[in-house]
């Protein structure tokens, strides 16, 4: 598997030909998939017509991920963040994810309680219970994917390590021409607020069509300090990020 690309985020990973594995292979370690809590199972699909009894969270994600760590194909220090995008009622799904995490306990990192050999982090997104539910349940397993309004009030960064929101609602700019200065200031404020609390920042619904506009948006997000770039095009994004890293100037020191 390729080395991790820390800024890459796999959106709707369950629609890839090989869920989880395609992302891991190109170095993506932040992976989102859609989940429906039905008939006592956590089933993986974006649309209800694609639900299948065998498409469960353990079979598609947790079991192959544990196998990758157990076999040494992934190092225990190479953390993977699984974003469980809940499509059904929040509390029953949250409780089901907590029960599932208990089964995989040695591999799951609890919020605020780092453990050796616990490289898998579970993050609730989509239909989540109220933040207070997770913040008060300090013995739980799940992290919380916040939204921009959460930045107005300090949150427990162990429970809410990431803040995400809709790029289309944040700005109408899609990469043509310069980003409006008012939107750029707003973006810098959001980055500063998240980073002041030790949180990562991500936007979904950024441009997906390959071309100069997408490249401009991705470049602007990274230049302004946004931590994770959301995409369905894992190969295109990881290529862009690796090329950007290769082109970055390296610091050099001279001896007198």
CATH number at residue 150: 3.20.20.190
C-alpha distances in angstroms, 62 versus 14, 110, 130? 13, 16, 25
Element (H, E) at 100: helix 90-103
In a domain, 84, yes or no: yes
Output the pLDDT for position 216.
98
In a domain, 130, yes or no: yes
Nearest to 125 by CA among 96, 163, 76, 158: 163
Instruction: Tell me the two tokens of residue 151.
Output: 């930045």
Output the pLDDT for position 251.
53
In a domain, 64, yes or no: yes
Output the pLDDT for position 155.
83
Give every residue of the chain whose pLDDT is below 50, as ranges.
Answer: 252-256
**CB-count burial class (<10 Å; 0-12, 13-18, 19+) for 245:** exposed
Element (H, E) at 144: strand 142-146
In a domain, 252, yes or no: no
Using DSSP, state whether 41 is helix, strand or coil. strand
In a domain, 255, yes or no: no
In a domain, 3, yes or no: no
Output the pLDDT for position 256.
32
C-alpha distances in angstroms, 82 versus 118, 197, 222? 13, 21, 22
Output the pLDDT for position 92.
96
Instruction: Report the number of distinct structural domains present in the chain.
Output: 1
- The boundaries of the domain holding residue 150 are 8-246
**CB-count burial class (<10 Å; 0-12, 13-18, 19+) for 156:** middle
- How far is it, in rounded angstroms, from Cα 164 to Cα 156? 16
Output the pLDDT for position 202.
98
How much is the pTM? 0.94
In a domain, 12, yes or no: yes
Output the pLDDT for position 135.
78
In a domain, 163, yes or no: yes
Strand pairing of 30-38 and 41-44? antiparallel
């Amino acid at each position: 598997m390729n080395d991790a690309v820390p800024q890459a985020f796999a959106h709707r990973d369950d629609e890839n030909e090989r869920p989880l594995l395609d992302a891991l292979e190109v170095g993506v370690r932040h992976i989102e998939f859609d989940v429906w809590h039905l008939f006592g199972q956590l089933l993986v699909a974006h649309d209800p017509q694609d639900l299948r009894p065998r498409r469960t969270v353990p079979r598609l994600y947790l079991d192959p991920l544990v196998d990758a760590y157990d076999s040494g194909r992934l190092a225990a220090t190479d953390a993977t963040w699984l974003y469980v995008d809940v499509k059904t009622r929040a509390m029953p799904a949250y409780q089901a994810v907590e029960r599932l995490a208990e089964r995989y306990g040695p591999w799951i990192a609890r919020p605020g309680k780092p453990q050796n050999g616990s490289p898998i982090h579970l993050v609730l997104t989509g239909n989540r219970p109220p933040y207070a539910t997770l913040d008060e349940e300090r013995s739980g397993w799940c992290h919380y994917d916040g939204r921009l309004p959460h930045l107005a009030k300090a949150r427990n960064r162990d429970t809410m390590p990431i803040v995400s929101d809709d790029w289309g609602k944040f700005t109408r700019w899609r990469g043509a021409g310069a980003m409006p200065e008012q939107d750029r200031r707003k973006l810098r404020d959001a980055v500063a607020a998240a980073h002041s609390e030790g949180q990562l920042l991500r936007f979904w619904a950024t441009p997906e069509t390959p071309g100069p506009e997408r490249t401009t948006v991705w470049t602007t997000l990274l230049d302004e300090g946004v931590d994770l770039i959301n995409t369905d095009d894992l190969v295109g994004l990881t290529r862009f990020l690796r090329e950007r890293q290769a082109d970055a100037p390296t610091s050099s020191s001279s001896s007198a």
